[in-house]
Amino acid sequence: MADQTNTTQLAVVGGGPGGYAAAFLAADLGLKVALISEEVNPGGVCLYRGCIPSKALLHAARVLTESHEASRWGIEFQPPRIDIARLRAWKDEVVEKLTSGLGQLSKQRKVEYIRGRASLVDSHTLSIAGESAGERRMTFEHAILATGSLPVKLPGLPESPRIIDSTEALELSSVPKTLLVVGGGYIGLELGTFYAALGTQVTVVEMLDGLLPGADRDLVTPLAKQVEKIFGKVMLNTKVAEMKEDKGGIHVKFEGAGAEGEDQSFEKVLVSVGRKPNSAIPGLEATHVERDARGFIKVDPQRRTAEPTLYAIGDVAGEPLLAHKASHEGRTAVEAIHGRKVAFEPRAIPAVVFTDPEVAWCGLTEAQAANENRRVKVARFPWAASGRAVTLDRPDGVTKLILDPETERVLGVGVTGVGAGELIAEGVLAVEMGALASDITLSIHPHPTLSETVMEAAEVFFGQATDIFRPKRP
């Protein structure tokens, strides 16, 4: 039973990038704010078991890979000695540094951070159970639901510590000799890249006919080529038909075009077949909040639910399930609560896959344009023609612009190559600002940098790019 009640203007449930961005802005705008989440500090999935630990480990993987690549430039290193305990500790230190920093920022802003699990009593009241909370009730004027998402589980799998999800893969309890990654989406490919760099023989099985569904195929091609080299095997159009634990590991039967009739055993299996909204918030049924068929909480452009006091943001409120989408929605919801006339209507939410090479895109994709029968012009600049890419010994990239042929406006941008995740920010700015191809060609880009590939792709649109020779048509 609840033993104390207090009141707040804004209660934020879930301390991920959506929740803490919302709580911090609300406090900066002068609201009394409580932020409730399950971990010691704010951070959510992204900081504790998602974006941040995975990127720390991928950075280590890149160093390992470069130490091998350097032999091509006449630099030989001793084979690396990997201290897994230290690597794990470093990754945990990164997480600790960032999450404790968020804890500090909460204190400085006088956001009341409550470690606990919240349930809804009604549209104005939360019940909070947890370590620092005891059991208490909190009434609020508004609440933002930012409870994130959970990994999808495949039905019918045996219970085994050898079958893991992304959270367990990031714990880095051991480096398996063999790893099957089920699912060719970004989380599986990123974690597969990391384990492959550590020496694990990685196999990927994907039901569809290509990796990274959602990305344009020409952006995926350079990654697919690299993946063929670093992973043991990639099986497309193939499903897992059966998994059984035996002495040596997990025995897997495959079904489909890539299966080649083989059964195989793997020391570990990483299931990364997607994520689902964490919308089973206890007590939600006591409100008017509605969910769609996939479980996402339905929201309007201000991120208000069907219950006027309740807003929802981030992974629980719809795709894409990305941290920066969550934090922007959080800011929109708070501004709406504060009475500002706002709407969440981005033209471009960037997606970045931190594999090697990286794949990034924003705005309209070529595939989307084709599906919508929309006439676009695509201008591509291959990185083999980029001085900077050659100095990095990484010409395996491409930068492309998707443009309106009439207005010459940039509608979408895609980049594959090392550092694509940083480069896509220029694309986001171009799409959001309605830049024309000439705005990009006339903006002087520094030399030698990979950013020049964006400028030269825009030059390609006009038919003349400095570093590409195209013979004149008669």
Ligand X SMILES: Cc1cc2nc3c(=O)[nH]c(=O)nc-3n(C[C@H](O)[C@H](O)[C@H](O)COP(=O)(O)OP(=O)(O)OC[C@H]3O[C@@H](n4cnc5c(N)ncnc54)[C@H](O)[C@@H]3O)c2cc1C
Question: Active-site residue numbers?
Answer: 447
| Residue 63 DSSP label | H
Which residues lie across from 291 on neighbouring strands?
297
User: Using the rule CB under 6 A, which residue among 13, 180, 220, 334 binds ligand X?
Assistant: 13
326 binds ligand X (CB under 6 A): yes
In this structure, how many other beta carbons lie within 10 angstroms of the beta carbon of residue 65? 15
Among 2, 29, 32, 39, binds ligand X (CB under 6 A): 39
Exposed, middle or buried, 294 (CB in 10 Å: 0-12/13-18/19+)?
Answer: exposed
H or E stretch at 182: strand 178-182
356 touches ligand X (CB under 6 A):
no
- By CB under 6 A, residue 58 contacts ligand X: no
SS3 23: helix
Applying CB under 6 A, which part among 8-16, 56-64, 241-249, 286-294 lies near ligand X?
8-16
Q: Is 382 in the site for ligand X (CB under 6 A)?
A: no
Structure tokens at 474: 């008669």
| Interface pick for ligand X out of 281, 360, 369, 403 (rule CB under 6 A) | 281
**Which of residues 184, 192, 314, 419 is near ligand X by CB under 6 A?**
314
Residue 11 interacting with ligand X (CB under 6 A): no
Q: How far is the CB of 378 from ligand X (least distance, A)?
A: 26
Main-chain phi, psi angles of 183, to 5 degrees:
115, 120
What span, in angstroms and rounded, lies between the C-alpha atoms of 425 and 427? Answer: 5
Q: Does 91 bind ligand X (CB under 6 A)?
A: no
- Beta bridge mates, 251: 244, 265
Whether 182 and 269 have beta carbons less than 8 Å apart is answered as: yes
* Count of residues touching ligand X (by CB under 6 A): 35
Stretch that binds ligand X, among 79-87, 293-301, 320-328, 465-473 (CB under 6 A): 320-328
Sign of the torsion angle spanned by Cα atoms 63, 67, 73, 77: positive
Of 317 and 378, nearer to ligand X (C-beta) is: 317
Nearer to ligand X, 47 or 369 (CB): 47
* Dist. CA 269–CA 185, nearest whole Å: 15
Give ∠ CA 420-385-390 in degrees, rounded to 5.
Answer: 70
**Residue 44 in contact with ligand X, rule: CB under 6 A:** yes
CB of 373 to ligand X, least distance (A): 31
Report the interface residues with ligand X, using CB under 6 A: 13-19, 36-39, 44-46, 50-51, 54, 117-118, 146-149, 166, 187, 278, 281, 314-315, 321-324, 326, 354
